[in-house]
Amino acid sequence: MTERQVSGGGDGAGAPEVLAQERRLRRDLGFWGLTGIGFSNIVGSGWLFAALYAAQTAGPAALLSWVGAGLLCGLVALVMIELGASRPEGGGTVRWPLFASGRLVGTLIGWSTLLSVGGTAAEISAIMQYAAHYLPGIYNGHTLTLSGLALATGLSVVLTALNWFAVRMFARLNNLISVFKILVPVITVIALIASGWHSGRLTDHGGFAPYGYVACLTALAGGGIVYSVNGFQAPLDFSGETRNPRRTIPAAVLTGIGLAVLMYLALQVAFLFTVPENLLGHGWQGVSFDSPFGQLALILNLHWLAGLLYADAVISPGGSAYVGVAIDARHTYALAKNGTIPRYFMKVNERFGIPRRALAINLAVIVVFLLPFGGWQDIVSVMGDMYLLIYAASAVAVAVFRAEPGGHTAGWVPGLRWIAPLSFVVASEFVYWSGWQDLRLALPLVLGGLLIFLAMRRPGVRVESDGAGPRRPLGAELRTGAWLVCYLVALTALSGVGTFEGSGLLPAPYDSITVAAMALAVFIWAVRSGVRHLVVSRPAEV
């Protein structure tokens, strides 16, 4: 591996330190380890609810939404695959935007990624809520009780401890959890179909698309489908710990997506064809369960299955939280390399190749999010949505790297000239479809990263090299990264006047079309700014 591939071309004073820590990472992950990481990160608590919400939103046509989500995520994944194969690096999804678009974009994307640590806290909280079925005193219906907080903190410590040692141990344990997470949904599908199949469900009760085919689009966000298949990028954050990343990463990412989509399709079919007829008097929108598959199993007298589902309701989010702790550590490690947080947290343990200081600070952040602040769950879900911004920034990065003179990319993915802009548009639509109620909080929070960027540029503040070339004047950095600020402001404004929980002044489908046109224009602007940035800041080759 060349220094350019690891550091993004930088050879500043801090680049050797970055390289020294990067070389301590152990390249122990193979195809099945990476596939298990991707699959386990995708399949969390979402599979227990998404089939219900998707059916309520689109009826049987929700099957098309799952297929569409798989194709769209596959498209975005191709961009991430190209980056992971050509520029493997621990926490690469945080580093690539910095290299391609400068320090303003790198800081904003890094800040939004740091906020997404709350997503792991959400999974741990979900475990506590499900565990309250057996331990009623740990959850009061709104927040964790004192004993619940203590138990959740203890679980967070255990998950951190399990990530404390070699990545090979982490991968093996995660593979065992992934096997269980596959078996339980498969058993659920077989048991439900064998116990209560009702024919004609694709045409009865309003037809295949009782709420119109536009509802398939709404189901992507409102039905929880995008949330359920999100997380496929997890193997890329371990690209610096992968054997032969150019060959292994593409296969692992696409296999993880394929397995997850097939599983979700099977669960959706089982739900559609086994809901009792008497519950469909008001159509699919009238079907309501607090615990869809668990209650459905009880209605069908499958008490053993209900017990298994309640157990898995703890294990599936637990598996996602386990992977989440590992991913968060790689992100924090990358943020330290970027200089967004102190370099102290970049240190990698020499014996085990694990960024332990990053694990420790993330444990503290997770515990803070678990505290019973009013409305914290809404904020956590908003932060999780903002991880989608990494997909957009990565699409810009791969186009910039391809366009720069003598650009270094793997060339594994053909057709990136059109895949990159299309991926940027798709990522933008995913963010937009999250809805105004989320975006009105999320996007201003991300823009709060501007304060961090400006604080880092104050006179007298010691700035360490991040491996992305020499420091440029503040005005030049603002011009290079202005596209992301304008992009976030435009998305917020369009969400406010659109039909996804907005005012509806811009009706469907013109709102989504406008978002696509805006995104394409911003993409062109971002790539041109990135290429100019690389030409101006490119250091001497080593």
Cβ distance 455 to 461 under 8 Å? yes
Q: How far is 31 from 244, CA to CA, in rounded Å?
A: 10
Question: CB 57: neighbour CB atoms within 10 A?
Answer: 24
Helical residues (DSSP H) of 13-91, grouped into ranges: 15-22, 31-42, 50-58, 62-86
Cβ distance 193 to 274 under 8 Å? yes
Q: Write down the pLDDT at residue 540.
A: 42
Q: Where are the domains of the chain?
A: 33-536
Q: Write down the residue that tokens 């990565």 correspond to.
A: 394
The CATH homologous superfamily of the domain defined by 33-536? Amino acid/polyamine transporter I (1.20.1740.10)
* Contact partners, residue 83, CB within 8 Å, separation at least 6: 92, 96, 236, 394, 397, 398, 401
| Dihedrals phi, psi of 34, to nearest 5 degrees | -70, -40
Q: Write down the pLDDT at residue 480.
A: 92
Q: Write down the pLDDT at residue 110.
A: 83
Question: CB 70: neighbour CB atoms within 10 A?
Answer: 21
Q: Write down the pLDDT at residue 496.
A: 94
Q: Write down the pLDDT at residue 58.
A: 87
Question: CB 178: neighbour CB atoms within 10 A?
Answer: 23
Question: CB 301: neighbour CB atoms within 10 A?
Answer: 11
Q: Give the dihedral sign, CA 123/394/89/176.
A: positive
Indicate the DSSP class of residue 541.
Answer: P
Using alpha carbons only, give the angle 347, 352, 353 rounded to the nearest 5 degrees: 45
Cβ distance 94 to 467 under 8 Å? no
* Contact partners, residue 241, CB within 8 Å, separation at least 6: 25, 26, 27, 28, 29, 90, 167, 353
Write a three-state SS string for 1-28. Answer: CCHHHHHCCCCCCCHHHHHHHHCCCCCC
Q: Write down the pLDDT at residue 344.
A: 77
Please, what's the largest Cα pairwise distance for the chain? Answer: 73
Stated as kind and residue range, the H or E segment containing 338 is helix 303-338
Q: How far is 96 from 194, CA to CA, in rounded Å?
A: 49
Question: CB 402: neighbour CB atoms within 10 A?
Answer: 18
Q: Write down the residue that tokens 């119109």 correspond to.
A: 212
Show pLDDT as tens, one digit a residue, over the chain (542 residues).
333 344 344 333 345 555 555 555 555 566 777 777 777 777 766 677 788 888 988 889 999 988 888 888 888 888 888 887 777 766 677 888 988 998 899 889 888 877 777 677 777 877 787 777 778 888 776 678 888 889 989 998 988 888 777 556 666 666 677 777 788 889 999 999 998 788 888 888 888 988 887 778 777 766 667 767 777 777 776 766 667 777 787 888 888 888 888 989 999 999 999 988 888 888 888 888 767 888 888 888 999 998 888 787 777 777 777 777 877 777 777 777 777 777 777 777 677 667 788 888 888 888 887 876 544 445 555 665 666 788 889 999 999 988 876 655 556 677 888 999 999 998 898 788 777 877 887 788 888 888 888 887 766 555 555 556 667 788 888 999 999 999 999 999 999 999 888 899 999 889 999 999 999 999 999 999 999 988 877 654 33
Indicate the DSSP class of residue 538.
Answer: P
Question: CB 232: neighbour CB atoms within 10 A?
Answer: 26
Q: Write down the pLDDT at residue 11.
A: 33
Cβ distance 339 to 64 under 8 Å? no
Q: Write down the pLDDT at residue 375.
A: 42
Structure tokens at 146: 């004192």
Q: How far is 326 from 330, CA to CA, in rounded Å?
A: 7
The 3-state DSSP composition of the chain as helix, strand, coil percent (nearest 5) reads 70, 0, 25
* Contact partners, residue 147, CB within 8 Å, separation at least 6: 137, 138
How many alpha carbons lie under 13 Å from residue 295 in its C-beta half-sphere? Answer: 12
